[in-house]
Structure 1
Amino acid sequence: MKAEIITIGDELLNGQVIDTNSAWIARHLGALHIPVVHITSISDKGYAIKNALQQAEERADVIIMTGGLGPTRDDVTKAAVADYFGTTLVRNETVSAHVQEIFHRTGRKHMPAMNIGQADVLANAAVLFNDVGTAPGMAVERSGKYFAFLPGVPFEMKFLMENRVLPMLRNAYKSDVFVYNSYLLTVGIGESHLAEQIADIEDTLPPFITLAYLPRIGMVRLRFTGEGTDMEALTSITNSFKEQVVERIKDHVVSIDNRSFEEVLVQIFTDTGITLSTAESCTGGSISAQITAVPGASRMFQGAAVVYSNQAKMDVLGVLSETLTQYGAVSEPTVKEMAEGARRVFRTDYAIATSGIAGPGGGTETKPVGTVCIAVAGPSETRMQTFHFKNDRAINIERTVVAGLTMLWDILK
């Protein structure tokens, strides 16, 4: 059983909108052991839609298409799909009543005529009723292949996948071949160095187990994927190889499951009853945003001070004017006082502080763009470190966030 995802929209092709739908759909299909073999983004053109469907039908068993189901003229999916299947569009009265009710409920007395067309569905399709929007989904089965046509709006797509499509796939499309994924997250070691250290283990992997390297700035996630007919044996064998890797690189291992670095840190702080705060200059609150994006962070994160100016550093955190005058804002003495000031102000066990020149301007001969100082203050010590990144502002900020979290991880260990 193989799947293909097709996303429709010129905005995806010109970079105005990032395709997050495909990643979400692929993860949830993977949980059903339905691997995605192809992902395609196409324009809002009838010929592109029909060509994509023809190619997908040749190489996949489950085809999920999102986008182009809205009421405007550029939404041509339904007409193109009807032509592809050699069928027509018919008015679904239940959907029509639902669309009108949404307009009335939101206080809009007049419903544009174009919205009435959202109740038109393929004559040969099963309607996937959309409780949270006006565009219904549609499902078609032909020659053992399953097609689902869903809105491109992410929250509507997710509702229909979770409540309509996935339950049907779970019950009707069961495979004798299982796919098992096991994950491992590392920090502080580059992809090539990691591959070099575990090359001999990777060489002994059996043909039914593959290892993928998923690098991000400052970290690498490893994914062990096994395929077989005996799930219990597959899980045991796959995890045995992962355990060998964990033992080999244990100083760099953060997580042995599919959690993010921030999720691991939040869990550790929560389980041990310790607290965290941040004092951020060049990162502008990015570290605190990463932490508080994790559910349950309120149990361990107390607060953040975004202190961009020197005056703010002094007023909020108590950084000494003498320190700023003698060493400058981008210096280890300054971030030391920032981190210790955050611990004091927010009454936390640990604090991370950042100050740097993210760019593209502001650099000097002695402190060029990319110079960043980070401090982590804890109950027994404060560690400082200076980094020299490159010229890209966004990447410098991302590197600083990861470096700060890694320093926190190191001091916790």
Structure 2
Amino acid sequence: MLWIELNNVEYGECIVLGGRDRSILMVDCGSMNQKVRDGDTPLDVRFESIAERYEDAMDRFFLLTHYHRDHLCGLKKLLDSREGYFSRVFLPSMPLDSHGIPLLLDFAMFAYLFLPPQTDCSQVNTSCIRIFRMLGEKLGPDRIFTLRAGDLFHFDGVDYKVLWPRVEEFPFEAEVASAVEEMNILFSSPFLPECEQRFLALKNDFLSLYVKCCEAFSVSGRALPEKRRQYLAGLDETLREIEGLKAELNLCPNAHDVREILERPISATSYSDCINAASVVFHNVRAREASFDDILMTGDVTPEVLESLQDELYDGYNVLKAPHHGTASGYCRLFSEMSAAHILISNGEYHAGGSVAQEYIDLQDSVRHCTNHNACKWFQTSQACCNRLSYCYDQEPGAGLVIKCPAATGRRAEPGCQIRTVGPSGEHACICEDSGRPY
């Protein structure tokens, strides 16, 4: 890994790792906003500029950490404007409960069929239903890969190990399991109309095929091409049959009860939290000892998950990606116990988002790299960047205050750390008050 770029997509995430061989690995691409505050730029225009920025890369890989709009919606935009843009797309495998049921997928199917498309739950959280169809059409089955705990993938001469999600006996929240059980019971009577009985059978077929796709497209246990195409075709055919029942299903007596379960605040919140908890977490495999390649990527994973992975984590990283946009809900106590030279924080202005946690600001041995300061209470109060007193150990000729970095002082120069924040107005330094001035 030669460099890192954090693309400003307001409240969302798009982090690109650049290889020495001119390849890139884009980790997530999405936003909750309609426009980026920097230049008042429409999001579609922002995604187009991101596509153009990496168009000359020798190879382009994409890794999706989890199925939330603020990490995903840009992938579709990139593939719509440039079909075949990515040579590989890595997806998180769908976790299963102790009975082998993919509860998140089951919940998503009910939301996909019974909630209006514009509702938050349907719009933000059901992308997993159509992801194989979309990628099959845009890229073909040979470019789709799935990841689960224990898998290894290769990028720019470095092996990366997937630490999470664990697929078997995933620790789902009880509220999600209860909601899914309630909805399935509504359709389990043998005396229901044929449409509803047909739906339940097709839904279970879809869940089974989806799990088979996750296994067949796995990095570690990849099936033969013909088997992968067969599963993909079966999944799409089953989904089309289910979609054909949508209008009739929404007129059935049980539709109201399903919507009531889906719209319970505790159901919707627990479901969204479980999607975060199933984020792909990965780090580099150390060849010998600590190096500049040491990086921990965390998606929006929860502190509880990171604590469960404590024995697998290194005692320090060159780069740590702050989970859940650097907000307090994603901060893990382990971060105060491990060293991190650089912390990546993708945040922005969004009414339902959250401010950058004070705990990150207090990690004075780390340099924070933020996409913007719109969600930083420290900056709003002090009108100064929390990095002003931070030392960067990647400067030439040696360690020094961040404000001494040529890039941060406004001189057109590459930062020693090779970490850049990129927005519509250009490439920016890690000093917030200088963020309106490109290198």
TM-score (norm: length of structure 2): 0.24
Higher strand share: 1
Larger Rg: 1
**Structure with the greater relative contact order (CA < 8 A, sep ≥ 6): 1 or 2?**
2
